[in-house]
Amino acid sequence: MDAILRIIHVVFGIFWAGTVLYASFVLLPVLKSLGPAIERPAVRGLMRVTSPIMSVLSLIVLGTGIAMALRTGLSISALFSTGRGWAIFIAFIAVVIYLIAGFGILLPSGARMDTLGRSIEGRQPAAAESEEMGRLARRISTVERVGSVAVLIATILMPLLRFL
């Protein structure tokens, strides 16, 4: 059971953190450099597929992480009195920040962008629609960056656990 939990946690964690970091530091900046005509439909298409996958992955990593912490005997007192406990607590908070950013901002913004994009397909967008699209794209990229820093912090702490 412990081995299965560990495999699920590590494999899904690599998949999730790798995708978030790649999107934030490589893919989104490259799309941005190609201009709004390419960036907006591409971000819209990507968000539709990646947002639900990332949400499920993050919940699996968090769930298996908590299960492993409990199975290795982590108590509330050890959480705040040992280095390992602190590292797990900080990773937990970082993932919760990502989840709030993802579910609270990225998912609704992606959905709004999708609806707006469909409604202007095949015609020139009005100035207000264009402005809203730009605002949504900027919000998605900022929140994506905050989420990716949170994921990076959790990912750095994980391999350190065995030394703490």
- The first and second tokens of residue 8, run together, are 């699920």
For position 40 contacting ligand HEM by CB under 6 A, the verdict is no
Report in angstroms the alpha-carbon separations of 86 from 61, 73, 92.
18, 14, 10
Closer Cβ to ligand HEM, 122 or 159, answer by number: 159
For position 6 contacting ligand HEM by CB under 6 A, the verdict is yes
**Of these, 61, 101, 113, 136, which contacts ligand HEM (CB under 6 A)?**
61
Is residue 121 left, alpha or beta, with left meaning phi > 0 and alpha meaning psi from -120 to 50?
beta
Q: Within positions 73 to 102, which residues make up the interface with ligand HEM, using CB under 6 A?
A: 88, 91-92, 95
Closer Cβ to ligand HEM, 9 or 40, answer by number: 9
For position 107 contacting ligand HEM by CB under 6 A, the verdict is no
Query: CA-to-CA distance for 90 and 33, rounded, in angstroms?
Result: 34
